[in-house]
Amino acid sequence: MVVVVPANVSVLELKGIHLYHANRSNCSARVRLLLEEKELYWTSHHIDLGRKENISEEYFGINPKGVVPALVHDGTVIAESNDIMLYLEKTFPEPGFRAVSPDLQPEIDYWLKMSGDLHIPGIKTFQYYKLNAALLEKTDEELALYKKLQTDAELLTFHDKHSEGRRFSEAEADAAAALLDESFARQERAIADGGWLVGASYTLADISWSPTVTTLSAGGFDFGRYPSIQEWYERISRRPQFEKAVFEWRNRATYAVTDPTIAGAANTARRSGGGTGEPGQ
| DSSP state, residue 100 | S
Closest approach, Cβ 83 to ligand GSH, in A, equals 8
CA dihedral 48, 51, 56, 58 (to 10 degrees): -40
Closest approach, Cβ 35 to ligand GSH, in A, equals 15
Tell whether residue 236 is a contact of ligand GSH (CB under 6 A): no
| Nearest-angstrom CA–CA distance, 135 and 258 | 23
Tell whether residue 213 is a contact of ligand GSH (CB under 6 A): no
Tell whether residue 68 is a contact of ligand GSH (CB under 6 A): yes
Binding region for ligand GSH (CB under 6 A) out of 22-30, 35-43, 172-180, 188-196: 22-30
| Nearest-angstrom CA–CA distance, 256 and 259 | 10
Closest approach, Cβ 158 to ligand GSH, in A, equals 7
* Interactions with ligand GSH, residue window 187-206 (CB under 6 A): none
Q: Smallest Cα–Cα separation from 4: which of 52, 69, 96?
A: 69
Tell whether residue 54 is a contact of ligand GSH (CB under 6 A): yes
> Which residues, 6+ apart, have CB-to-CB distance to 217 below 8 Å?
223
| Nearest-angstrom CA–CA distance, 1 and 37 | 22
| Nearest-angstrom CA–CA distance, 175 and 254 | 35
Among 208, 214, 261, 281, binds ligand GSH (CB under 6 A): 281
Binding region for ligand GSH (CB under 6 A) out of 7-15, 65-73, 93-101, 198-206: 65-73
* Interactions with ligand GSH, residue window 104-133 (CB under 6 A): 116, 119
Closest approach, Cβ 168 to ligand GSH, in A, equals 13
Regarding beta strands 42-46 and 70-73, do their DSSP bridges make them parallel or antiparallel, or are they unpaired? unpaired
CA atoms within 13 A on the CB side of 32: 30
Among 23, 25, 56, 203, binds ligand GSH (CB under 6 A): 25
Among 4, 11, 35, 49, binds ligand GSH (CB under 6 A): 49
89 sits in which H/E element = helix 81-91
Closest approach, Cβ 123 to ligand GSH, in A, equals 8
Residues near ligand GSH (CB under 6 A) are 22, 25-27, 49, 54, 66-69, 80-82, 116, 119, 280-281
